[in-house]
Chains A and B, each alone.
Chain A
Amino acid sequence: MAEVADKQATANPEAADVDGRPIIELVDVYKRFGDLHVLRGINVRLNKGETTVIIGESGAGKSVVLKHIVGLLDPEKGEVRYRGQVIGGMKRRALTELRTHFGYLFQMSALFDSLTVEENLAFPLVEHRKLAEARIKEIVAQKLSMVGLDGIQSKKPADLSGGQRKRVALARAIALDPEVILYDEPTTGLDPPRADVINELIIKLKQETGATSIVVTHDMASANKVADRILMLLEGRFIFDGTPAELTGTDDERVRDFVQGRASREDMMSLQRKG
Chain B
Amino acid sequence: MSFLATVGYKSIHATESFGRFWTFAWTTLRFLGPGLFRYKTWRLVMPNFYEVGNRTLPVVLITGMFVGLVLAIQSYDQLAAAGFEQRMGILVNMTLVQELGPVLAGVMLAGRVGGALTAELGTMNVTEQLDALRAMGSDPIRHLVVPRFLACLLLTPLLTVFADLAGCLSGFFVAVELKNVPSEPYWYFTKDALERWDLMVGFIKSVAFGGAIGMIACYKGFHCRHGASGVGRACTESFVASFIAILAIDFFLATFLQGVYKALYGFKSLVM
Contact = CB atoms under 8 A, between A and B. Distances in A.
Interface stretch (B135-143, B189-197, B228-236): B135-143
B132 A113 contact: no
Contacts of B128: 106-108, 110
Contacts of A111: 129, 132
Contact of A96 (B123, B124, B131, B137): B137
Interface residues of B, number: 13
Given A106-B128, A108-B128, A110-B127, A127 B138 contact: yes
A133 interface: no
B108 to A, nearest CB: 24
Contacts of B132: 104, 106, 110-112
Contacts of B137: 95-97, 99-100, 124, 127-128
B42 to A, nearest CB: 16
A72 interface: yes
Which of A92, A106, A110, A128 lies at the interface centre, i.e. has the most chain B CB atoms within 10 A of its CB? A110
A258 interface: no
Main DSSP-derived SS at the A contact region? mixed
Interface in A89-139: 92, 95-97, 99-100, 102, 104, 106-108, 110-113, 123-124, 127-128
Contact of B136 (A67, A99, A107, A113): A99
A238 B24 CA distance: 36
Contacts of A70: 135
B136 A72 contact: no
A96 B143 CA distance: 14
Contacts of B129: 110-113
Interface of B: 123-124, 127-129, 131-132, 134-139
**Can you list the 9 inter-chain pairs with the closest CB atoms, starting with the nearest?**
A110-B132, A110-B128, A99-B137, A96-B137, A104-B135, A106-B128, A124-B136, A110-B129, A108-B128
Interface of A: 67, 70, 72, 92, 95-97, 99-100, 102, 104, 106-108, 110-113, 123-124, 127-128
Given A72-B134, A106-B128, A110-B129, 12 more contacts: A70-B135, A72-B131, A92-B139, A95-B137, A96-B138, A99-B134, A99-B135, A99-B137, A104-B132, A106-B132, A111-B129, A123-B136
